[in-house]
Amino acid sequence: MGERSMKWLLPVLLLLASTVAADHNWEQRDIVAGQSLYADNCASCYGANLEGQPNWQSPNADGVLPAPPHDRTGHTWHHDDELLFEYTKLGGAAALEVRGGTGFNSGMPAFNETLTDDDVWDILAYIRSTWPEREREAQASRNPQH
């Protein structure tokens, strides 16, 4: 293989390696249980079909953003695994405070009292399972390599 051929191969190999390394959070997850848990705990805000609330990019009168879609049209897949987990477990404001963000008026409640860690990962695995491959790969690339 010539030097020109190698220039495109290395970035592709690095992307594949980071995607594989990041997928460890999704191994052994119960997507069926996640779908049921989503229906019971999340669908009232995020919609039965992950469609989110209308006008989700514009704050309500109280300054809180409506629930965004969890499907490919939203921004859930723009975030790494750890933030998605913390956002669900701790609630929006607390999850962002952990990362140095303050003053964010989030409508996302904490589920640390009602859902186990495995429940949260199963819900996230269900949501992730609905994304096209492109979005799954993009989201996986946002995770640190292990």
pLDDT at position 124 over 90: yes
* Contacts of range 45-54, beta carbons closer than 8 Å, 24 or more positions apart: 45/107, 46/70, 50/74, 50/127, 50/130
Cα 12 versus chain centre, distance: 23
- pLDDT value at residue 23: 58
- pLDDT value at residue 98: 87
pTM: 0.81
Q: Report residue 62 as tokens.
A: 């109280």
